[in-house]
Amino acid sequence: MDELAFLSAVETGALLREGQVTPEEAVETALRRIEAADPGLGAFVDVDGDRALEAARAIGPQDRRVFAGVPVAIKANTPAEGLIMDYGSRLLAGHRADHDAHLVRRLRAEGFVIVGATKTPEFGILPTTEPVAHGPARNPWDPARTPGGSSGGAGTAVASGMLPIAHGNDGGGSLRIPAACCGLVGLKPSRGRISRGPDSGDSFLICDGVLSRTVLDTAAALDALAGYAVGDATWAPPPTRPWSAAVRRAPGALRIAVTVADPLGAPLHPEHERAVRETAAALAEAGHAVDELPGVLPGAESVELFLTAFAANVALGHLHAQALAGRPAGDEDVEPLSRAMVAHAAGVTSTEYLATVAGLQALARRTVALWSGFDVLLTPALSQRPPAIGAIRGTLEPPMAAFEAATAFVPFGGLFNVTGQPAVSVPAGFGEDGLPLAVQLVGPPLGEDTLLQVAAQLELARPWAQRRPPSP
């Protein structure tokens, strides 16, 4: 059971196609792992074993789809028919989606078997996953620490071997942060790459994706999820070849810029700097030209702009949750930080919000202009080590202290939600505390192919997928 549990999604799919494992056995393995590990780690808010096994039994022995029979989970802020979708909030306690998001339909169409819904902090605000509604998700490498957020339940599930791959989304680092905390691959695709429909319109900040153990898994999942869906107002153009094919090819010699300067001017943890420097050396050894980034990435001047745009997204989620609940939210229904973010958004006029978006677009243009001098940017994935459970949560006082702590923890992430560029967190060894280290790679607009190729080079040079956390 353990050997199957820690295979990648692509490897699991290959065993299924070869007939060495049946879809029912793959799903049963996932369900047994969840039953054994989840009580101590808290990844899931809902497990639907009966329907998952029924779906697995319906997959025929000659099914050649890459992911036919592979178990997956959906983050509980995205509708998957019949599963809990509560945004991590007591306001929507027990709410079940009555339809599938477009991306969930695509997962089903590719043969994935959905086994449940994973935990998110309330309204996806924080880079930790400790909703009052459900209690914390914990890091499999050290259950006293956070797995990151806001896709923290997904990170816990994959890193602990409950699943080979899991859905998540990213509005300020929410795929890359749990990937960094848990030793996984977390790609934030280009803006518009994966449809947010049918419930959500275009999003300036939020992208969907997966958490996985390997670069190939991430590339193949992007092949499955990307593309126009009926009614999308805007979308990213399709690639010239599948990402799962591109990732098997060397990118050639690239110009790679490196920075370890915290955009907010705070000290960087020395282990994170070491991870970046060792990764830079590995990239130079692979034949790339590696140089320091001149200057510092936009930081303090962008925080207030980002906060206003992000708070507007939280307020929209809050309104949607009230509509689904059929009643206004009381103070007891939502956490103090959520109320503070909604209040911040309510204090911004429509004209001020449009000015904020214009300011962020100007900031994005200045940032993207840097890519005329290089192909990929290498940065720390995190500024600090993963904090202890309880250190960053939505019940801190004053409420915005949690957002300030979150910004200090992950200052390198949100900028690339603003620019819309693809960015990926990849493992980079382990720290003295036994927790994973990671770095972030940022590509040019629509540059997932280059980004994934460089990540694959690092994976080949320093394999990471076979490392396992302690058994639960």
As a whole number of angstroms, the distance between CA 327 and CA 91 comes to 9
Other CB atoms closer than 10 Å to residue 130's CB: what's the count? 26
Residue 80 tokens read as 């998957």
The single residue listed with the structure tokens 């080590």 is: 385
Percentage of the chain surpassing pLDDT 70? 99
Other CB atoms closer than 10 Å to residue 269's CB: what's the count? 17
**Catalytically annotated residue among 8, 89, 119, 150:** 150
**Residue 75 annotated in active site:** yes
Residue 50 tokens read as 């009966």
Percentage of the chain surpassing pLDDT 90? 92
Mean pLDDT of the chain: 96
As a whole number of angstroms, the distance between CA 352 and CA 368 comes to 24
Among residues 147, 171, 150, 168, the alpha carbon closest in space to that of 159 is found at 147
Residue 468 three-state SS: coil
* Residues 249-283 pLDDT 10s: 999 999 999 999 999 888 999 999 999 999 999 99
- Write the burial class of residue 457 (CB in 10 Å: 0-12 exposed, 13-18 middle, 19+ buried): buried
* Residues 139-196 pLDDT 10s: 999 999 999 999 999 999 999 999 999 999 999 999 999 999 999 999 999 999 999 9
β-pairing, 207-212 vs 185-188, is antiparallel
- Write the burial class of residue 228 (CB in 10 Å: 0-12 exposed, 13-18 middle, 19+ buried): middle
- Does 66 score more than 70 pLDDT? yes
pTM of structure: 0.98
β-pairing, 376-380 vs 255-258, is parallel
Buried b (16+ CB within 10 A) or exposed e, 43-77: bbbbbbbeebbebbeebeeeeebbbbbbbbbbbbb
- Alpha-carbon Rg for the chain, nearest whole angstrom, is 20
Q: Is 267 left (phi over 0), alpha (psi -120 to 50) or beta?
A: beta
Mean pLDDT throughout 41-69?
97
- Does 3 score more than 90 pLDDT? no
- Does 367 score more than 70 pLDDT? yes
**Residue 190 annotated in active site:** no
**Residue 150 annotated in active site:** yes
Q: State how far the alpha carbon of 282 is from the alpha carbons of 199, 276, 362, in Å.
A: 43, 10, 34
Residue 72 pairs in a beta bridge with: 114
* Residues 86-142 pLDDT 10s: 999 999 999 999 999 999 999 999 999 999 999 999 999 999 999 999 999 999 999
- Does 295 score more than 90 pLDDT? no
- Does 446 score more than 90 pLDDT? yes
Residue 385 tokens read as 């080590």
Mean pLDDT throughout 189-216?
94
**Amino acid letter, 249:** R
- Does 472 score more than 70 pLDDT? no
**Catalytically annotated residue among 89, 174, 212, 425:** 174
The DSSP code sequence of 358-398 is: HHHHHHHHHHHGGGGS-SEEEEES-SSPPPBTTSS-TT-SS
- Highest mean pLDDT out of 153-167, 192-206, 362-376: 153-167
Residue 316 three-state SS: helix
pLDDT (0 to 100) of residue 1:
61
β-pairing, 71-75 vs 113-118, is parallel
Mean pLDDT throughout 325-332?
96
**Catalytically annotated residue among 75, 195, 302, 383:** 75
Q: Where are the beta strands (DSSP E) in 401-445?
A: 423-430, 436-442
pLDDT (0 to 100) of residue 19:
95
pLDDT (0 to 100) of residue 301:
78
Q: Which helix (H) or strand (E) holds 422?
A: none
As a whole number of angstroms, the distance between CA 88 and CA 314 comes to 12
As a whole number of angstroms, the distance between CA 450 and CA 243 comes to 10
The DSSP code sequence of 122-178 is: GGG-SSS---TTT----BTTBTTB---SSSHHHHHHHHTTS-SEEEEEESSSTTHHH
* Residues 281-293 pLDDT 10s: 999 999 999 999 9
